[in-house]
Chains A and B, each alone.
Chain A
Amino acid sequence: MKMHLDEKIWLILSFGMIMLFTIFTGYQTFVLGLGPPSNMETIDPQKVEETAPFDAPGVYEIGENEYEVVMILEIFRFNPGDIEIPAGSTVHFTMTSKDVIHGIQIAGTNMNAMVTPGHIQTITQTFHEPGEYLVLCNEYCGIGHQHMATTITVY
């Protein structure tokens, strides 16, 4: 297969770019610990409310400016909802679904995760700026999906 010089240059540039993306993504994930939410724990989706920690969903202070939110996503609400935390807090979310697939996204932040039945999802987010953040479900979960939302107030 004959290749023109331009073609070789183009191919080298293409591969170079790909290598760069690969290295960058890998570095962020494995060195900086910025991988996507990928918790591997499972749960019986039909026994969520009887299984710890989801038998007691809520907001727990676990350290200075550090909170754990144990949350159940169900049609069409977040439990607990209307969360309040002080500015500068780091919040560890532990979530599962009682029914179908949901998503959780906090507008104005980078927090975004899928919450699938049978699986426990974890994700951590630090809230610096005070304000009332909109928390919404971003995976179609049925006829009332557009109503599934709550807020996190950072004071």
Chain B
Amino acid sequence: MTQSNLAYKETLNEVEEEMEVHPKDKKLAMAHVYVAYVAFIIGVFGGLLQGLVRGGMIELPGWITYYQILTVHGVLLALVFTTYIIFGFFFAGMSKTHGAFPSGLRKLGWVGFTILSAGTALAAVMILANEASVLYTFYAPLQAHWLYYIGLTLFVVGTWVMGSALLAHFFNWKKAHPGQPTPLFGYMTTATLLLWIVASIGVAVTVLVQMLPWALGLTDEINVLLSRTLFWYFGHPLVYFWLMPAYMVWYLVIPKIIGGRLFSGSLARLAFALFLLFSIPVGFHHQLMESGISEFWKFLQTVLTFVVVVPSLLTAFSIFATFEQTGRAKGGKGLLGWLKKLPWGDARFFAPFMGMIIFIPAGAGGLINASFQLNAVIHNTLWVVGHFHLTVGTTVLLTFFGMSYWLIPVLTGRRFTKHANRCGIVQTWLWAIGMFFMSGAMHLLGLFGAPRRTAYGTYGDHPQAMQWFEGIFTSHVTVAIGGVILTAAGVLMFYNFIYLSFLAPKGKTEFPMTPDPIDTPNTPKFLENWKLWIGIAIVLIIFAYTIPIYQMIVDAPPGSPPFNFLIK
């Protein structure tokens, strides 16, 4: 260890003791957590209904449709829950690692929160009024009420405003500490936010330039392929926007909880920079089966899709290396003895760990989805739904649950009690078991041709469709059973949220944050060069998208009129 490293370690230890989340920042962060969990529990009951309906176990009353519920479920869980909990985590973590927000930036954060919430409320009202049953992907030319598109716009603008507050806080720190490597938390938050901002421009453009004028009747027709392309330009990085904060918990929180430390900061930074570069120019892998995009461009983006697996593999390596080092430092012997030294009884560790394990089959499934010939087998089948209930629905969600066990009591000034911990462990098991049944059956049903996004039906009792109800495991009934277990797990998680927010005894809970690794002073300068990363990201985007988008516009067929009567 060099002299500067030692000195660095000492200053870190001092700083660590002082830093707390500022009380006013706690309020802002906690506001996000409240909305997140309310959205979560509503979304969970939506999922339960879907499972029961498709299993043929219940019928919906006339005043609500399957697709309306599916829209609620997708929007609340995939967009609302994730976005709110992520921004809550960012505000709390930035306050802890970079100091209290200056009041101007905190106000900006509240302004963003308000815009985001106004957008969420507006979109929710339109969905409840059955004016927006277009699912969370809102593909044209199905058309929702124009107010729904306004809601979506406000949602995105809200995140931009909050993102600016967080970025400003980070760059202020950087300016105040010239020549110093930035704290890892800030680095990773910045990479995630930049990814989000660059990506969400795509969805903002299609909503504002294409859909809103068309829904208002200002334009008669819409370019369908262009709108899908802009949506998926956003839609894939969206999944990295969920995944990167989960990785932040793995990199920055878990080592502390298990009593170890992250051993390389530079590699962690490199992984995040690679996500920023490679997770955007890959949207065509969601459009492999459609006309109007040539094989060449589909192939090119598929290759980039494979590349973005590398930073995930890097992450897996770093995390498991940290586990092993820590376990061995605690006296774990032999090939696997170190495993025993991990804190299995601690829900803050166990929930994210379960998420990591489930990411192994989930990631393998993702590679299958991207390999285009295999994609033909599973595209738009329940396989895909099974896939993302593992990735976002389990890996990311269990990590966020594990995070909530300390984040909520930190923010509310309560204690993470034994009782809460026990509930957390039970919750994790229930979620994993429920997901095993639901997602497992979905994967297999997909291979047998069962479509996604489809209400109950037997296609006139066609034998191939009947088979989806008759399998021992491969059955819509298994999906429904898994859904019931998951709902129980969801309710328990909601209870954990209520308990930690309002009922747990007052006291102090640790914000587990790993001190930056000792190689931090040696962080190569180029890793901190944001202009470079954004520049390369833009070059890659231009490379992967310019020609196909140009063709979509220049060679466009006449556009499509609105179809808004089809959703009611």
Contact of B306 with A38 in the complex, beta carbons under 8 Å? no
Q: What's the minimum C-beta distance from B466 to chain A, rounded to whole angstroms?
A: 10
Residues on the A chain within 8 Å of B317, using CB: 6-7, 10
Contact digits for A50-75, partner B, Cβ 8 Å, 1 yes 0 no: 00000000000000000000000001
Residue in A18, A46, A101, A106 whose CB lies within 8 Å of B139: A101
16 chain-A/chain-B pairs, Cβ below 8 angstroms: A7-B267, A18-B306, A22-B303, A26-B303, A35-B295, A36-B298, A36-B372, A36-B373, A107-B464, A114-B287, A114-B291, A119-B290, A119-B557, A132-B463, A142-B566, A146-B456
Contact of B141 with A44 in the complex, beta carbons under 8 Å? no
A40 to B66, CA, bound (A): 34
Contact of B454 with A145 in the complex, beta carbons under 8 Å? yes
Q: What's the minimum C-beta distance from B75 to chain A, rounded to whole angstroms?
A: 14
Contact of A1 with B266 in the complex, beta carbons under 8 Å? yes
Contact of B499 with A by CB under 8 A: no
Contact of A75 with B377 in the complex, beta carbons under 8 Å? no
Contact of B291 with A39 in the complex, beta carbons under 8 Å? yes
Residues on the B chain within 8 Å of A37, using CB: 289-291
Residue in B449, B457, B561 whose CB lies within 8 Å of A46: B561
Residue in B65, B299, B451, B561 whose CB lies within 8 Å of A143: B65
Q: What's the minimum C-beta distance from B410 to chain A, rounded to whole angstroms?
A: 33
Residues on the B chain within 8 Å of A29, using CB: 295, 299, 372-373
Contact of A112 with B377 in the complex, beta carbons under 8 Å? yes
Q: What's the minimum C-beta distance from B460 to chain A, rounded to whole angstroms?
A: 8
Number of chain A interface residues as a range: 35 or more
Residue on A with the closest CB to B307? A18
- In chain A, positions 80-134 with a C-beta closer than 8 Å to chain B are 99-101, 103, 105-108, 110-122, 132-134
Q: What's the minimum C-beta distance from A49 to chain B, rounded to whole angstroms?
A: 15
Contact of B12 with A by CB under 8 A: no
Residues on the B chain within 8 Å of A45, using CB: 557-560
Q: What's the minimum C-beta distance from B287 to chain A, rounded to whole angstroms?
A: 8
Contact of A139 with B563 in the complex, beta carbons under 8 Å? no
Residue on B with the closest CB to A141? B566
A138 to B81, CA, bound (A): 27
Residue on B with the closest CB to A14? B313
Interface residues of B (CB under 8 A from A): 65-67, 133, 135, 139, 141-142, 223-225, 228, 264, 266-267, 270, 287-295, 298-299, 302-303, 306-307, 309-310, 313-314, 317, 321, 367, 371-373, 375-377, 379-381, 448-449, 451-457, 459-460, 462-465, 519, 522, 524, 555-561, 563, 566-568
Residue on B with the closest CB to A122? B291
A44 to B288, CA, bound (A): 22
Count of chain A to chain B residue pairs whose CB atoms are closer than 8 Å in the complex: 227
The verdict on A112 contacting B380 (CB below 8 Å), with A35-B372, A118-B559, A136-B459 known, is: yes
Contact of A112 with B306 in the complex, beta carbons under 8 Å? no
Contact of A15 with B by CB under 8 A: yes
Residue in A21, A100, A116 whose CB lies within 8 Å of B291: A116
Contact of A100 with B455 in the complex, beta carbons under 8 Å? no
Residues on the A chain within 8 Å of B519, using CB: 2
Residue on B with the closest CB to A111? B376
| A-B CB proximity, top 3 nearest | A142-B566, A107-B449, A42-B557
Q: What's the minimum C-beta distance from A22 to chain B, rounded to whole angstroms?
A: 5
A124 to B266, CA, bound (A): 50
Given contacts A25-B373, A43-B557, A142-B566, 18 further A-B pairs with CB under 8 A are A1-B264, A1-B267, A2-B266, A2-B522, A7-B317, A44-B557, A99-B563, A103-B380, A105-B451, A112-B379, A136-B449, A136-B459, A138-B380, A138-B381, A139-B139, A142-B142, A145-B453, A149-B460
Residues on the A chain within 8 Å of B465, using CB: 107, 134
Contact of A119 with B309 in the complex, beta carbons under 8 Å? no
Contact of B459 with A25 in the complex, beta carbons under 8 Å? no
A18 to B66, CA, bound (A): 40
Q: What's the minimum C-beta distance from B2 to chain A, rounded to whole angstroms?
A: 12
Residue on A with the closest CB to B134? A140
Q: What's the minimum C-beta distance from A84 to chain B, rounded to whole angstroms?
A: 16
Residue on A with the closest CB to B526? A1
Residues on the A chain within 8 Å of B139, using CB: 100-101, 139-140
Contact of B459 with A134 in the complex, beta carbons under 8 Å? yes
Contact of B309 with A18 in the complex, beta carbons under 8 Å? yes
A41 to B556, CA, bound (A): 10
A95 to B243, CA, bound (A): 38
Residue in B223, B295, B371, B455 whose CB lies within 8 Å of A21: B371
The verdict on A143 contacting B566 (CB below 8 Å), with A2-B519, A105-B451, A114-B290 known, is: yes
Residue in A111, A121, A132, A145 whose CB lies within 8 Å of B290: A121
Contact of A118 with B376 in the complex, beta carbons under 8 Å? no
Residues on the A chain within 8 Å of B377, using CB: 110, 112
Contact of B289 with A118 in the complex, beta carbons under 8 Å? no
Residues on the B chain within 8 Å of A79, using CB: none
Residues on the B chain within 8 Å of A103, using CB: 289, 379-380, 451
Residues on the B chain within 8 Å of A116, using CB: 224-225, 228, 290-292
Contact of B563 with A142 in the complex, beta carbons under 8 Å? yes
Q: What's the minimum C-beta distance from B496 to chain A, rounded to whole angstroms?
A: 34
A100 to B522, CA, bound (A): 56
The verdict on A21 contacting B306 (CB below 8 Å), with A36-B288, A112-B379 known, is: yes
A7 to B452, CA, bound (A): 40
Residues on the B chain within 8 Å of A75, using CB: 566
A42 to B555, CA, bound (A): 8
Q: What's the minimum C-beta distance from B260 to chain A, rounded to whole angstroms?
A: 16
Residues on the A chain within 8 Å of B559, using CB: 45, 118
Q: What's the minimum C-beta distance from B322 to chain A, rounded to whole angstroms?
A: 12
A145 to B459, CA, bound (A): 11
Contact of A143 with B291 in the complex, beta carbons under 8 Å? no
Residues on the A chain within 8 Å of B556, using CB: 42, 118
Residues on the B chain within 8 Å of A113, using CB: 289-291
